[in-house]
Chains A and B, each alone.
Chain A
Amino acid sequence: MENNFNDIERFFNGAMDAKETAEFETRRANDKEFARDFLLYRQANEVVRLGARQRLKKHLDELGQSEMAVTMISTYGRYYLLRKYWYAIAATVVILIGLGYFTYHSIHPGKSIPTLAQLFDSYYEVPKADLAMVRGDHAEEPLSLAWNSAIQQYSEGQYNIAAEDFRVLLANSEFTHRSVANFYLGICYLNTNLPDSAITHFSSISPTSSLNQDASWYLALSYLKTNNLKRASEVFKNIATSKKHYKKEQAEEILDLLPETD
């Protein structure tokens, strides 16, 4: 086998010339032992080749795992950066919107939506009562004295006392200025934070009274104070649609500011 090995190796390495190759082939055909050694060498060569192939395959498999890991890391990195980047964009957008909102409302401060109480405070004014004083021949009569006293207290801002005086007058069946008394009593109640009572008295004023427009205006304001959006809107709408109401424009302003009702 020793000698055969060298010859066979030379054959496989292509180190033989034509003559040697021919002699080699003849020997292989006739010498069974030589043929076996030849085959053995070839088979061993094949086994080594297959082993090397498996080793290469294993190496490439490992390369694949690391390549995939790199790809995953780079993909993760990309997504991570992208996500980080988008968070930064989102944060910038939020900040810009916030700044824009702040700037816009700094320039246009009047567009904020007020509460009903704020609207009431903005539009409510205590009506003066100087002209309601009774003058002339009847000024010394008891009812006239009581009336003038009530108006006096009212003018001085003594609303609780004035309210008591108005209630006494209204309880007297002989008292004739009922609509006026109801109106100022309603104002007294508004000033003493009793808007429900004010509503009762404003509602009882006769539609034919000269104070009818004032009564509807203060009735609407009273509803604002009681936070009754629906009723306030109804009364303000009546004022706004009324052709000659002296508070028509203000009613329209308020209706623009009030939230929509069903």
Chain B
Amino acid sequence: MTDQKFIDSILTGGGEMHKTIDRFYHENFSLVYQMMGAHKLIKEEVLDAYSDAITAFVENIRYQKFRGDSKCRTYFIRIFNNKCIDIIRKKTTNRINKYTISLEDLGTDLIQEVVDEEKNTGFTEFLFQLSEICKELLMDWSDGYSMDEIAVRNGLKNAHTARSKRYNCFKQLMTILQKNNIVDANLNMISDGEQF
């Protein structure tokens, strides 16, 4: 698969995106062993970094942070390598060898992303307050599945039902966020001059 086809499949979202991700995962799995050898990390750590790197890579494509300026594999390896370095840095006993990229080399954007990611991960607890079907339906929608696909995946009558269900579920989530003053906190940040 060419890089452009790969990017197009990710941007299409839904089932096609997930098939492409799975294939990419398997095709590049040898990198896990390479990183285990290169950084002297244990299997579980590298596996975690690998899936984390693929998730980040896919998001960067979907949200247009990666526009195909370098080869997909090269770009992915950089992300994966950085994830492995993060693990090494967390392990005080691990000595970083001369081949390890310093944090400065990662650039401020990536560092900021990591910080934001950690801050935002806590918000998903609000999603888990929804019913199972609501949660799954909203995540399917976020992943770019069509309403027809969402209906089939979640056992709904048709796309129209799925659309209406999605609307209700999303409103439920907004209500939960409102009740927890999530928006007020962000509004204060806006009034303090921060952009969103």
Bitwise interface map of A from 29 to 55 toward B, beta carbon under 8 Å scored 1, else 0: 000000110011111111111111111
Bitwise interface map of B from 176 to 191 toward A, beta carbon under 8 Å scored 1, else 0: 0110001110110010
Distance to closest chain B CB from A61 (angstroms): 5
A41-B174, A44-B173 in contact; A63/B55 too (CB < 8 A)? no
Chain A contact surface mostly: helix
| A46 CB contacts on chain B under 8 angstroms | 120, 123
Distance to closest chain B CB from A77 (angstroms): 17
| Nearest B residue to A64, CB-CB | B47
Bitwise interface map of A from 174 to 185 toward B, beta carbon under 8 Å scored 1, else 0: 000000000000
Q: Of A35, A39, A40, A47, which one neighbours B124 at CB under 8 angstroms? A: A47
Distance to closest chain A CB from B58 (angstroms): 7
A68 interface residue per 8 A CB criterion: yes
Contact assessment for B55 and A68 in the assembled complex, using a CB-CB cutoff below 8 Å: no
A57-B55, A61-B47 in contact; A48/B187 too (CB < 8 A)? no
Q: Of A47, A51, A54, A68, which one neighbours B47 at CB under 8 angstroms? A: A68
Alpha-carbon separation in the docked complex, A61 to B140 (Å) = 19
Chain B contact surface mostly: helix
A41-B174, A44-B170 in contact; A64/B59 too (CB < 8 A)? no
| Nearest A residue to B139, CB-CB | A52
Q: Of A1, A35, A51, A63, which one neighbours B127 at CB under 8 angstroms? A: A51
| B75 CB contacts on chain A under 8 angstroms | none
B54 interface residue per 8 A CB criterion: yes
Of the stretches B20-28, B88-96, B97-105, B151-159, the one at the interface is: B20-28
| A61 CB contacts on chain B under 8 angstroms | 47-48, 51
**Interface size of A by Cβ–Cβ distance < 8 Å?**
30
Q: Of B48, B138, B190, which one neighbours A48 at CB under 8 angstroms? A: B138
Contact assessment for B47 and A36 in the assembled complex, using a CB-CB cutoff below 8 Å: no
Q: Of A5, A53, A67, A68, which one neighbours B171 at CB under 8 angstroms? A: A5
B149 interface residue per 8 A CB criterion: no
Contact assessment for B127 and A48 in the assembled complex, using a CB-CB cutoff below 8 Å: yes
Contact assessment for A55 and B139 in the assembled complex, using a CB-CB cutoff below 8 Å: yes
Q: Of A36, A42, A48, A68, which one neighbours B142 at CB under 8 angstroms? A: A48
Bitwise interface map of B from 131 to 160 toward A, beta carbon under 8 Å scored 1, else 0: 000010011111100000000000000000
A and B contact pairs by CB, cutoff 8 A, 16 listed: A36-B183, A39-B187, A39-B196, A42-B196, A43-B186, A48-B138, A48-B142, A48-B170, A50-B121, A50-B123, A51-B139, A52-B142, A60-B21, A60-B51, A63-B26, A67-B25
Residue positions of B touching A, CB distance < 8 A? 21-22, 25-26, 29, 32, 43, 47-48, 50-52, 54-55, 58-59, 120-121, 123-124, 126-128, 135, 138-143, 170-171, 173-174, 177-178, 182-184, 186-187, 190, 196
- Lowest 7 CB-CB distances: which A-B pairs, in order? A60-B51, A64-B47, A52-B139, A52-B142, A51-B127, A48-B142, A48-B138
